[in-house]
Amino acid sequence: MPLLGLSALATAGFVTILTEALPAGLLPRIGADLQVSQAMVGQLVTAYALGSVVAAIPLTAATRRWRRRSLLMLAVGGFLVANAVTALSHSYVLTLAVRFAAGVFAGLVWALLAGYAGRMAPEGLRGRAIAVAMVGTPLALAIGIPAGTLLGGMIGWRAVFLILSGLSLLLVGWIARRVPDFPGQADTRRGDLKAVFNQPGLKTILAVTLAFVLAHNVLYTYIASLLQPAALSDRVDAALLLFGVTALSGIWTVGAQVDRRLGTLTLASIALFAAAALGLALVGNKAGLVLAAIAVWGAAFGGAATLFQTASARVAGEATDVAQSMIVTVWNVAIAGGGVIGALILRQHGPVGLSWSVMALLAVAALLTKLGRQAGFRN
């Protein structure tokens, strides 16, 4: 296992997640500095997700002939520029535009990571390699965002984004030295995109990804509201840390077994998440049980990216990067949709309504996974 190279890929994922989510932890400071409301600052996250949704598939298809390492370095270099401009900008409009551009680069990075990791690893260990490349996500959630928020309070939010820009510069050098280069593939035209989409099992994988990630974001976006009945509103940071730590255990478990038990692990993750949602629905006013449910939810979610990307890589074969771009698009649609749908549910039914709606989405995900065991989610 080429751990140094895979760790560089994981760091690229870490940078993309941290760049995406950090404004949420620094809302008041960014809003005061740019002289806009916190709701307007929240749109910096929306713009980032929208950039990934719009660009992931067409940009991945357009660059399939490019050498893989050069393309990855270019995408990471985009974060160097985007985060530097974010740190220096005093215009909300410019900041919003550059956040959209950062989302475009993120869509490209995420489309590359799973296929790249799989090509770096020996046969039989590709799922484990993808798990290593995906570890940047729970690390960003568990450590990066809390640390970045704390650091922003100490040295200012602009300095934090400059640090991220500097990390991107170091990462470009790391990729150049430790990540092997691979040739691109034949150009993908419109018909080829359709052919990839019609690969047996891929539609099911995309549908399960949408249902699972949408369920996650309905809860995660409004976790502060979920904690209110248990009088834990002032411990959101601790709850997020607990979620991130148990997510690390989830990705470790999935990474160790995914090459042999993909379908079983996918169903187990859905079942664990559903159990956590049920606990939040039934005992959402008991602090200890709420925290236990969040821990189970984190463990269930930690390996999700590895599961879905491994499944799509198996189905797509040579067209893995294009399939991954579809996963990225669906994932970001679910992020945006979770915020909108969760707000409507919260307004009509309160925090408990969020948990019951998540169980309905997970029931759909479980059914589709069972039906897809012969194609997308076979062991």
Give per-residue pLDDT as tens, 271-289: 999 999 999 999 888 999 9
9, 111 in Cβ contact below 8 A?
no
> Where does the chain have alpha helices with state H?
3-25, 27-34, 38-62, 68-88, 92-120, 126-134, 136-139, 145-155, 157-178, 190-197, 202-220, 223-227, 236-257, 262-282, 287-302, 304-316, 320-371
pLDDT of 190 reads 45
Asked if residue 379 belongs to a domain, the reply is no
Mean pLDDT of the chain, nearest integer: 89
Same domain (yes/no): 132, 228: no
Same domain (yes/no): 218, 112: no
* Structural domain count, the chain: 2
Provide the 8-state DSSP code for 26: T
Same domain (yes/no): 209, 182: no
Measuring CA to CA, which residue among 140, 146, 147, 161 is closest to residue 30? 161
What is the identity of the amino acid at 138?
A: P
Asked if residue 376 belongs to a domain, the reply is no
Asked if residue 161 belongs to a domain, the reply is yes
| Percent of the chain residues topping a pLDDT of 70 | 98
Name the residue range of residue 247's domain. Answer: 192-371
Between 316 and 100, name the one with better pLDDT: 100
3-state secondary structure of 198: coil
Same domain (yes/no): 12, 108: yes
pLDDT of 125 reads 84
Same domain (yes/no): 31, 111: yes
Same domain (yes/no): 46, 73: yes
Distance CA 79, CA 164 (A): 8
Between 97 and 25, name the one with better pLDDT: 97
Provide the 8-state DSSP code for 142: I
113, 60 in Cβ contact below 8 A?
no
Reported pTM: 0.81
CATH of the domain at 155: 1.20.1250.20
Give per-residue pLDDT as tens, 33-54: 999 887 688 788 888 988 998 9
Asked if residue 321 belongs to a domain, the reply is yes
Same domain (yes/no): 314, 206: yes
Give per-residue pLDDT as tens, 225-256: 888 898 887 777 788 788 888 988 898 899 88
Radius of gyration, CA atoms only, the chain = 20
User: How distant, in Å, are the alpha carbons of 25, 84, 85 from that of 60?
Assistant: 30, 25, 24
